[in-house]
C-alpha cells in the first residue's frame, strides 16, 4: 500500500457531508485497504464555521471554499453543496488545480454535465456522481459500466422519495394531496418549500442524467418534459384502483421504436398493481432498466438521506482514489451516439381520460368520433350517469402525445363536454 495519503476536501458539511466525514474517519482502515492508500480529510468548506461538527478537527474548517479548491495539493474534491453556483465554479476550479471530483449535485449535472465532463477531460481528471441519482442505489455505475455491452431501451423509475411518500400515503389512506404533503413535511420527507419535489424538477434532473448515460447521448434538462404531481386527486386514485392500477410519479427515458431518437419525461402515471414499481412504498426509490440482452432489471433502495447518499459518495471516492493511484481515469462522458432528443409530442403511450359530459343520447358517439378523427384508438369506455350530469372514462390504446393533445383540444370544444376532469398516462404495461 502507498503510505502517502490521498488528500480529500469536502465542500459542504450538511446532512450528507457530515456523514461522509464521519465514515471517512470511522472506516479509515477499510477505505485505505480498498483504495490502496490512506485518505486524509484535508479541508472542509462550510457556510457556518461556528457550528460544532463532531469528529471534525476545527482547524480543517474554512468558509473560503475557493481557496480550498485552489490549494493545488488535493487529490479529490467532494462537492455536496448542491445548486448551480458556487458549486459549478468550485468544481471547474478544482479540475484546474489538479483534483478529481465526486459530486452529489443532480441539478448541476443535469444542467451543465457536458461542460463539467469536458473540463474533467481537458485536465485528465475524474468526475463521478453516483450520489446524484437515487441516493445509495447503484445506478450510474451499472448503466455506465455493467450495461456497457448492451443496448438500453428504457429506464422507468421512481426517483423522488418525497413524492413517492405522498402518493403512497394518498393510495393507502385515501388522503388528499394537501393532507399527505402536510404529513410528509411533518416527518421531514418534504422540505418547507416542496416545489422542487412535487413539481417534478428534482426528478427531471435525474431523468436528464439517466437518459444521457443510458443512451450515450447528451440530454439537457430542457429536453425533459416535466409535469408535477400536486394536482393528483383522491378521485384519480379511485379511477386508478378501478383500472387495477396505482399512481406513481415516474421518470421515463425511452428509445423510440425506430431506435433513432429518445425522449425523457417526468409525470404522474397509472401503473398496474402487478408491476414491481407499484409496490415501492414510502420514500424508497426504484428504477427499472430494460435492455436488448439483459431484459428487465430493477434497482431498489433508499433514494435519499445522509447515510445512503454518503455511501454512494464514498463508493465513488474509492473508485476515484484507485484511479489517482494507478494514474488513470474512469469512463467519463459517453455521448457518441448523439441521438435526436424528441419532444413530448413524439412520446407514444396510453391514456386514461375522465370527461364530464351532458347526460343525453349521442354523447358517446360524438366523443368517439373526435378520438377517431385524431387517430387515437379507444380501448375501453365507461359511462356513469348522475342527475343529468354524466362522466365518461376513456382508456386509449397507444397513441402519440401530440395526437392525444389534439383530441383533448377538440373534445373541449364539444357542447356536450362540460369539462375534462383528468388526463393521466398509463405506463408499465
**Binding interface with its own copies (CB under 8 A):** 19, 23, 27, 30-31, 33-34, 130, 135-138, 141-142, 145-151, 216, 276, 279, 291-302, 305, 307-308, 310-319, 322, 326-329, 331, 334, 336-337
Instruction: Provide the grid cell at 262.
Output: 429518445
Please state whether beta strands 245-255 and 261-272 pair in parallel, antiparallel, or not at all (unpaired): antiparallel
Name which of 89 and 296 has its Cβ closer to its own copies. Answer: 296
Which residues make beta-bridge pairs with 9? Answer: 43, 77
Cis ω before 408 (30° cut-off from 0)? no
- 135: enclosing H helix or E strand: none
Q: Do residues 116 and 85 lie in contact, with contact meaning Cβ atoms separated by under 8 Å?
A: no
**Category of 72 on φ-ψ map: left (φ > 0), alpha (ψ -120 to 50) or beta:** left
Q: Is 257 annotated as a binding residue?
A: no
Torsion of CA 353, 357, 360, 363, to 10 degrees: -50
Q: Is 395 annotated as a binding residue?
A: no
Residue whose cell numbers read 397509472: 270
CB of 317 to its own copies, least distance (A): 6
What span, in angstroms and rounded, lies between the C-alpha atoms of 164 and 142? 23
CB of 337 to its own copies, least distance (A): 7
Q: Is 343 annotated as a binding residue?
A: no
Name which of 71 and 154 has its Cβ closer to its own copies. Answer: 154
Q: Is 239 annotated as a binding residue?
A: no
In terms of Cβ atoms closer than 10 Å to its own Cβ (0-12, 13-18, 19+), residue 210 is buried
CB of 407 to its own copies, least distance (A): 37
Which residues make beta-bridge pairs with 422? Answer: 354
What span, in angstroms and rounded, lies between the C-alpha atoms of 345 and 348? 8
Backbone angles phi, psi at 85, to 5 degrees: -115, 145
Name which of 334 and 383 has its Cβ closer to its own copies. Answer: 334
Name which of 116 and 312 has its Cβ closer to its own copies. Answer: 312
* Annotated catalytic residue, options 51, 70, 169, 206: 206
Q: Is 11 annotated as a binding residue?
A: yes
Q: Is 311 annotated as a binding residue?
A: no
CB of 35 to its own copies, least distance (A): 8
Name which of 31 and 417 has its Cβ closer to its own copies. Answer: 31
Please state whether beta strands 261-272 and 284-291 pair in parallel, antiparallel, or not at all (unpaired): unpaired
Q: Is 394 annotated as a binding residue?
A: no
70 is a catalytic site residue? no
Of the candidates 30, 254, 74, the one whose C-alpha atom is nearest the C-alpha of residue 154 is 254
Instruction: Provide the grid cell at 284.
Output: 424508497
Please state whether beta strands 76-79 and 39-45 pair in parallel, antiparallel, or not at all (unpaired): unpaired
CB of 128 to its own copies, least distance (A): 10
Q: Is 18 annotated as a binding residue?
A: yes
Return the half-sphere exposure (C-beta side, CA atoms, 13 A cut-off) of residue 196. 15
Name which of 128 and 237 has its Cβ closer to its own copies. Answer: 128
CB of 16 to its own copies, least distance (A): 11
Residues annotated as binding site for NADPH? 106
Q: What is the set of active-site residues?
A: 206
Residues annotated as binding site? 11-18, 106, 191
Amino acid at each position: 500500500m502507498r503510505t502517502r495519503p490521498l488528500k480529500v476536501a469536502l465542500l459542504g458539511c450538511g446532512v450528507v457531508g457530515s456523514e461522509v466525514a464521519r465514515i471517512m474517519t470511522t472506516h479509515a482502515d477499510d477505505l485505505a485497504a480498498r483504495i490502496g492508500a490512506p485518505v486524509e480529510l484535508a479541508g472542509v468548506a462550510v457556510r457556518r464555521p461556528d457550528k460544532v461538527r463532531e469528529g471534525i478537527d476545527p482547524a480543517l474548517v474554512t468558509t473560503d471554499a475557493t481557496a480550498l479548491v485552489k490549494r493545488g495539493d488535493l487529490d479529490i474534491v467532494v462537492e455536496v453543496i448542491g445548486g448551480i453556483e458556487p458549486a459549478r465554479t468550485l468544481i471547474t476550479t478544482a479540475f484546474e488545480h489538479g483534483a478529481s471530483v465526486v459530486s452529489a449535485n443532480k441539478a448541476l449535472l443535469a444542467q451543465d454535465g457536458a461542460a463539467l465532463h469536458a473540463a474533467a477531460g481537458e485536465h485528465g481528471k475524474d468526475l463521478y456522481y453516483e450520489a446524484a441519482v437515487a441516493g445509495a442505489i447503484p445506478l450510474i455505475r451499472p448503466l455506465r459500466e455493467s450495461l456497457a455491452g448492451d443496448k438500453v431501451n428504457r429506464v422507468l423509475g421512481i426517483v423522488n422519495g418525497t413524492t413517492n411518500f405522498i402518493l403512497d400515503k394518498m393510495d393507502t389512506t385515501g388522503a388528499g394531496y394537501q393532507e399527505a404533503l402536510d404529513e410528509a413535511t411533518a416527518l421531514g420527507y418534504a422540505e418547507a418549500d416542496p416545489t422542487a419535489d412535487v413539481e417534478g424538477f428534482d426528478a427531471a434532473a435525474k431523468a436528464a442524467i439517466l437518459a444521457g448515460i443510458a443512451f450515450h447521448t447528451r440530454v439537457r434538462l430542457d429536453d425533459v418534459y416535466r409535469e408535477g404531481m400536486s394536482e393528483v386527486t383522491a378521485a384519480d386514485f379511485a379511477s386508478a384502483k378501478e383500472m387495477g392500477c396505482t399512481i406513481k410519479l415516474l421518470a421515463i427515458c425511452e428509445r423510440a421504436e425506430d431506435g433513432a431518437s429518445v425522449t425523457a419525461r417526468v409525470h404522474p402515471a397509472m401503473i398496474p398493481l402487478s408491476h414491481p414499481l407499484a409496490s415501492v412504498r414510502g420514500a424508497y426509490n426504484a428504477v427499472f432498466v430494460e435492455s436488448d440482452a439483459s431484459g428487465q432489471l430493477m434497482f431498489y433502495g433508499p433514494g435519499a438521506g445522509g447515510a445512503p447518499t454518503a455511501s454512494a459518495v464514498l463508493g465513488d471516492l474509492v473508485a476515484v482514489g484507485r484511479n489517482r493511484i494507478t494514474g488513470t481515469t474512469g469512463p467519463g462522458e459517453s455521448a457518441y451516439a448523439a441521438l435526436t432528443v424528441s419532444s413530448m409530442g413524439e412520446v407514444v403511450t396510453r391514456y386514461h381520460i375522465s370527461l364530464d359530459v351532458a347526460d343525453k343520447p349521442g354523447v358517446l358517439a360524438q366523443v368517439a368520433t373526435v378520438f377517431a378523427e385524431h387517430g387515437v384508438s379507444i380501448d375501453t369506455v365507461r359511462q356513469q350517469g348522475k342527475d343529468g350530469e354524466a362522466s365518461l372514462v376513456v382508456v386509449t390504446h397507444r397513441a402519440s402525445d401530440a395526437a392525444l393533445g389534439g383530441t383533448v383540444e377538440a373534445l373541449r370544444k364539444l357542447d356536450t363536454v362540460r369539462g375534462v376532469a383528468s388526463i393521466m398516462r398509463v405506463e408499465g404495461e
